[in-house]
Structure 1
């Protein structure tokens, strides 16, 4: 079922990431980590649907997406980057395979962190962050989505990995790439849940490395 919804607010999160808040239909329900198909309610764009993850919680009075904009692609995200209050988006029913199944390590690459935003917000609201950790890989510090919020929620359990510049931050910033050697060094045990989301090559590399290090394939949570 499709819903055409007004944009209530557009906020800049980073230099190329926007937070879009929409009106929320009655009886529209989803769980943290789920996504939906989104299209722009403009001539020529209504059939151009793309998947985006809800970053709001089901209890919020709005729907929220945090979306990375690619201006050079001349595509949907470039158009989303031009959205203003009063414009409309078309969304479908929620779907998704990423859901919280228990404490573990979350590993994200760039905009792949978006399914984890609602999960961590939900856990924080319930007081159930526990021993969950987020390892977040980005090209540079300016690319870190919701850095301050993750720091507040996770503290020392929020680890940033910077791949294309020397990080200037504190001990939570690591210079390098997330590979098998990195995982072996920074993860104490592999008998836990692992939540992985990023570009396909990132996901495949991380999943293969985790399995080689002894992670239970049934404990790996990712979008297929």
Structure 2
């Protein structure tokens, strides 16, 4: 362990101690301070902040797309990559004080695989059950880290379910041919196998005590956290108007349509709008729904979205395009919450760290 330094976050006035061997984001999470973050890999920029005082910071490897050199020189930092070597004062640029102060403690555990089924040609519905400890708490929309068997590497996947007493967790995971975890999932993982995990991570959670309309936009495995939020809304009787725009390439890439249809009557004012970006193939011959990029579909369907909350999850290019579309339609940037599903080993990719 290295020396410890005090890091103070403004404008919320929270202080934590950070060991030099830790990143600031990791230390905050261990102390129940839930800072905005996404990939934890220095790729998505969700944790980008500004250094007000102090400059002795060392960095783990990160993408210059997330933190360009000129921004770092001007004082910007990525909390998921930054190791403090002196006391610091950090200005949080993207934060929600309600979320910061409601963080849950990180917990390590072991889960057992109880199901793994294909929901499309390249996505799997993985279900695991907690073996130990007795509970890992999380909020719907958060994600869990899995240790890849035989390695010290971890991969992150969003939970599609709501908290439950049975200790069961569900995930929708995209398969990549060379994915370290997803390749294992596709070819070797068996029911009964055990995996080491840690959770909860992420701030893609429903902001409580609000009655504003909701717009969900997702693509690919971005289905998982949105499904978790919709399930939670149905269970909790949340009465907010909500529309879920889901983008897929072909009709064969759609999943969970039946469950979403079953959820609709349990939600007070809900609409599901799936769209195909490549509708000309044989799988989509009978498709009569929306076509085109999901961001274009949102623009066609929505008018003035001023006052709405938006949740966006999927590949980084889709997330960036959706944020631009939503802001043009009137959604405040402070009310757009997103998860970029980046891939390890690539600068830009589609899934939750495959």
TM-score (norm. length: structure 1): 0.88
Q: How far did 1:129 drift? A: 5.9
Once the two structures are superposed, the pairs formed by residues 96-111 of structure 1 within 5 Å of their partners are: 96-101=202-207, 102=210, 103-111=213-221
Query: In structure 1, what is the equivalent of residue 258 of structure 2?
Result: 148
2:140 to 32, 35, 46: 32
Residue 270 (structure 2) pairs with residue 169 (structure 1): no
Q: Which residue of 2 aligns with 1:88?
A: 194
Contact 2:277 2:291 (C-alpha < 8 Å) held by counterparts: yes
Residue equivalent to 2:8: none
User: Is the 1:6–1:23 contact (alpha carbons within 8 Å) kept by the matching residues of 2?
Assistant: yes
Contact 2:290-2:297 within 8 A present in 1 as well: no
TM-score in terms of structure 2 length:
0.57
| Residues 37 and 51, structure 1, Cα contact 8 Å, conserved in 2 | yes
The answer to whether the Cα contact below 8 Å between 1:35 and 1:54 also exists between their aligned partners in 2 is yes
Gaps of 5+ in 1: none
Compare the two structures and name the one with the higher helix fraction.
1
Structure 2: unaligned runs, 5 residues or longer: 1-106, 341-354
Number of residue-to-residue matches in the alignment:
217
Q: 1:139 aligns with which of 249, 266, 269?
A: 249
Q: 1:81 to 1:217 in 2, by over 3 A?
A: same
CA distance in 2, matches of 1:30, 1:57: 8
Inter-partner Cα distance in structure 2 for 1:19 and 1:92: 19
Q: Higher relative contact order at CA 8 Å, sep ≥6: structure 1 or structure 2?
A: 1
1:157 paired with 2:271, answer yes
Runs of 4+ aligned structure 1 residues displaced above 4 Å come to none
Take 1:162 and 1:14, find their aligned partners in 2: how far apart are those partners? 14
CA gap 1:212/1:74 in 2 versus in 1, 3 angstroms: closer
TM-superposed CA distance for 1:4, in Å, is 2.2
Instruction: Answer with 10-19 or 188-197: which moved more.
Output: 10-19
Higher-Rg member (1/2):
2
